[in-house]
Amino acid sequence: MPWWQVVLDAVGALLLAAALVLLALMVRRRWLTKGEPTFDMSVRTHPKQDARGWTLGVGRYRGDRLEWFRVFSLSLRPKRVFDRQAMQLGDRRMPAGSEAYALFSGHVVVDSRTAGQDVEVALSPEAFTGLLAWLEAAPPDAYLDG
Calculate the CA 114 to chain-centre distance.
16
CA distances from 5 to 15, 89, 138 (A): 15, 59, 63
- Give the pLDDT confidence of 20-59 residue by residue, as tens digits: 989 988 888 788 778 778 899 999 987 776 667 899 999 9
Residue 38 identity (one-letter amino acid): T
Confidence (pTM): 0.80
Strand partners, 40: 58
Sequence-distant (6+) residues with CB within 8 A of 55 are 42, 43, 44, 70, 79
- Give the pLDDT confidence of 67-126 residue by residue, as tens digits: 999 988 888 899 999 999 889 999 999 998 888 888 989 999 999 988 888 899 999 999
Flag whether pLDDT at 146 surpasses 80. Answer: no
What pLDDT score does 102 carry? Answer: 87
What pLDDT score does 27 carry? Answer: 85
Evaluate the CA torsion angle 124, 32, 47, 119 in order and state its sign. Answer: positive
